[in-house]
Structure 1
């Protein structure tokens, strides 16, 4: 059955808007106003934005409109309504980082990923919410409150790029910058029902100092794989400003890389990595995704990826890094009282780790890299659930009475690939019995992001999932 053509600019993707701009059938100013209208209507119900800058956005849109009118656009992203995660500095917007201890004055600096988006003509609408300093996989905290799931507002959006994921689900803008230190793009992507990619570490140069160092990736959340590929075209590539990691000189055209057959791709399918407990509805949806890929011609084999849970090593690296952040901003007991108590608690643990324990954790990380490199000699892509459960109730860090001590207990599938630096994506693959989204994760070898993009784009084209027309109030 033929699909009804879209007529609402606020419902369109970056690819669709670009085609309309090129044909003179719509303008970046109209698209920006449509995105701002959706923010005005939807955001009070979900709290996805830390700051919205309509005047600056419309001024940038008018400049973009003039470039399109002259036949001189900067590329297909020129005029695309875009958001930036609040952990990322943006000139003219307070860089609060989800904290009450940071400067409330507008930032006078921004980092390379924002500069590259601006150079591509992206129109920045504002900044999206994060937990305090991005420390956990849900998005609630002292500065901006609770960001809610668009599919059920009594549920969590996921985090730490929760605002970005919710903005993507509701199309409050078409491109949404996020960051991922242990799953912070893929967790909210899965729980909010959108696509998210954590690219190979290095493709997006890390020019901002962070104690997480090579754990901390940046990438997009979007409704479509195509839009994320456009985003990556704008922001990837080497830079002398990179503080960590390396980037190959030859950068693919990600839009082209996202196209092609999946026939013959060797997929290793792991239900649980040998150590995770997965909810039945999630397991069934991911099993169906694996069957569908086999029907599309991929060679799907059930496998054990071959590593034990690296959670304790991750916690050493993560908690030690958070102790540095807390000590930087909270110099007194009164300061710490104004912070998220969960962040203060893990920082206290991290402060006690020894240099020997840190080195032991780095050894686990190094050995995991080797294990996965060997895995990818046999399999092009690893397939797993993105999350073992659907969205938690809003406002909690972890469920009570289930033996958990921290949010990392409920996200076993994401953080291993921050430790290895591999590309990993979450693609919507269904809903649970309560109507909450489920995501499937694809992981490829380092700098083989083309494989996860191609697989995700083909899967999404063959089996698209719905997006919410408006927040579902619960």
Structure 2
């Protein structure tokens, strides 16, 4: 494995600026690492070696001319396969879109290209982002680089695994109920869900429009801030986009890395711990909170009583929106088409196509969502879930009156074994219990590594939540904790992963 693949994005950018390496060298090192380990990890569904190297060569030409497009110009990135990429396949992990090549780029992909980041390829995911383990991909599961018998989280396990296995320094994911943060927790990477509307959703194949958000997946908090600044900001193509400038995110991360949190109030959410949480997860969480106190933060306990209903509300709202969004896959306009024998009607073609093209989890959520929206049940289920959503937002408002940021474990357990929960959907859904409230309220959340659980030696995630539009607070607190933890560990947590590209 090349030393270049071990560098953070910020380090690579500094080396490029100093003329110590080239984008072609960095991109080739990432491609070589993909060749070496991805047979075991399966983080990528499509690798665009030719395109990435061409983009890297163009970046080197800009550097040579003294006109880099951005601070990250030349640093490679991987993209979750739910984002439209012109000329590259976009399958959403589903057979129903097998072979579809979009004629346009998602706004975030356009911004990556404008900033000069070579795109390595498209990463694996649970089909249409429905899952917490990346086992529901129609193209096979992704494996956790820490232990290839275990899941890398979901739905964006491919992006998290690519970063953890040193195949890419940066990646994009999407977070509907925790699909950036939960994979980050179980792979020892950093993942951020921004304020709803803070990053464009144009070109994101929607599962649940009121919940989905694009965000960065990285190995350091500073890298996440740098990538966030590239892809964030207002987009007139997205009606949910917030029309105001981003705060100074990278500066907040650099300030936090100095380790001074004097005057910062941190609220520990009492409902997001206790029963159902692995002992080692709680131990590492408590140790991290103690470090924040040592850095000068004031720690208080806050209660958000409506959070106990968040999981139930989410699994009514999300399937309802998903059932509406997936109605577009009708075999008539694009994607897979299965034509039964004889002279089938349009309805029969549609039925056969959806039966062959959608996996079991997608079918399950479509049925649940259609039921919740049906006549006679809308008020009893979907309507009630939206009322709970309002209560959750009010709980957050009350909690943020007492604290600047809120903290909890990101996920209740470390990575479970592949296949362990496939036959128990409810057990799978419980992995999102700590991440879902932020999506329902539209506030930003960050997950960063908090260490290894003593029971199994696997990564534990620490979650930081902030009020809407206060994403910079996440970077300040996250970077401060990261710096203190790495000082204790003697380096990044991923340095403790098994040697073969982080895989074993």
Q: What TM-score results when the alignment is normalised by the length of structure 2? A: 0.88
Report whether the alignment pairs 1:250 with 2:250: no
Q: Which residue of 2 aligns with 1:447?
A: 469
Return closer, same or farther for 1:444/1:45 CA change in 2, 3 Å cut-off.
same
Shift of 1:171: 2.0
Q: Does the C-alpha gap of structure 1 residues 283 and 100 become closer, same or farther in structure 2, counting only changes over 3 Å?
A: same
* CA distance 1:410–1:399, shift in 2 (3 Å): farther
Is the 8 Å Cα contact of residues 138 and 397 (structure 1) preserved in structure 2?
A: no
CA distance in 2, matches of 1:140, 1:99: 12
1:268–1:429 CA distance, 2 compared to 1 (3 A)? same
2:305 aligned partner: 306
Aligned position for 1:82:
77
Contact 1:273–1:304 under 8 Å retained in 2: no
Shift of 1:394: 1.1
1:100–1:142: 8 Å Cα contact kept in structure 2? no
CA contact (8 A) 1:310 1:364 kept: yes
Residue 184 of structure 1 is matched in structure 2 by 179
Alpha-carbon distance between aligned partners in 2 of 1:200 and 1:338, rounded to the nearest angstrom = 33
> Which ranges in structure 1 are unaligned for 5 or more consecutive residues?
1-5
Alignment partner for residue 240 of structure 1, among 226, 236, 244? 236
CA offsets, 1:328-349, max 9 Å, x none? 3363145324432122122212
**CA–CA separation in structure 2 for the residues paired with 1:207 and 1:337:** 28
In the alignment, what sits opposite 2:500?
Answer: 470
Q: Give the equivalent residue in structure 1 for 2:110.
A: 115
* Structure-to-structure mapping, 1:318-357, within 5 angstroms: 318-329=318-329, 331-333=350-352, 335-354=354-373, 355-356=378-379, 357=381
**Matched residues in 2 for 1:154 and 1:7: separation?**
25
**TM-aligned CA distance change 1:113 to 1:397, over 3 Å:** farther
User: Is the Cα contact below 8 Å between 1:161 and 1:188 reproduced in 2?
Assistant: yes
Distance 1:30 1:211 in 2: 37
Q: How does 1:110-189 map to 2 (within 5 A)?
A: 110-189=105-184
Deviates most, 453-462 or 53-62: 453-462
1:359 is aligned to 383
Q: 1:338 to 1:242 in 2, by over 3 A?
A: closer
5 Å-filtered alignment, 1:405-416, equals 405=426, 407-416=428-437
Distance 1:48 1:154 in 2: 14
Residue 92 of structure 1 and its aligned partner are, at CA, apart by 1.7
Describe the SS at the equivalent of 1:141: coil
- 2-structure distance, mates of 1:273, 1:388: 9
Residue by residue, what CA displacement relative to the aligned partner does 1:195-253 show, whole Å, maximum 9, x if unpaired?
10001111102224635112001101100111111101111111211132x41423222
Deviation at 1:368, TM superposition (A): 1.5
Q: Name the CA distance, whole Å, in 1 between partners of 2:503 and 2:485.
A: 26
1:157-207, Cα deviation, whole Å (9 max, x unpaired): 001110000111122121100000000001100011101000111110222
Among candidates 369, 373, 378, match of residue 397 of structure 2 = 373
Does the CA contact (< 8 Å) of 2:208 and 2:319 recur in 1? no
- The DSSP-based 3-state class of the residue aligned with 2:299 is strand
Partner SS for 2:143: coil
Equivalent residue for 1:393?
417
Partners of 2:503 and 2:118 in 1: how far apart? 30
CA deviation profile, 1:45-69 (whole Å, cap 9, x unmatched): 1100010000000000000000000
Whole-angstrom CA distance in 2 between matches of 1:470 and 1:109? 37
Q: Give the C-alpha shift of residue 312 in structure 1.
A: 1.7
**1:269 Cα deviation after fit:** 1.1
CA distance in 2, matches of 1:37, 1:211: 33
Alignment partners' CA distance in 1, 2:76 and 2:468: 30
The answer for the alignment partner of 2:14 in structure 1 is: 19
2:438 pairs with 1:417:
yes
Q: For 1:146 and 1:216, how far apart are their aligned partners in 2?
A: 22
Residue 316 of structure 1 pairs with residue 316 of structure 2: yes
Structure 1 distance, partners of 2:478, 2:400, is 18
Residues 398/279 of structure 1: CA separation in 2 closer, same or farther (3 Å cut):
farther
Gaps of 5+ in 2: 331-349, 487-491
Determine helix, strand or coil for the equivalent of 2:93: coil
Q: Aligned partners of 1:335, 1:420: CA distance in 2, in Å?
A: 32
Count of residues in Structure 1 that have an aligned counterpart in Structure 2: 465
Distance, in Å, in 2 between the alignment partners of 1:274 and 1:283 is 7
2 CA distance for matches of 1:473 and 1:187?
19
Tell me the C-alpha RMSD between the 2 structures: 2.0
Question: Partner residue of 1:3?
Answer: none
**314-323 vs 264-273, greater mean Cα deviation:** 264-273
Distance in 2, Cα, partners of 1:109 & 1:351: 30
Q: 1:282 to 1:274 in 2, by over 3 A?
A: closer
Cα 1:420–1:66 shift into 2, 3 Å: same
Residue 461 of structure 1 is aligned with which of 483, 490, 494? 483
**Following the alignment from structure 2 to structure 1, what is the Cα–Cα distance between the partners of residues 232 and 431?**
31
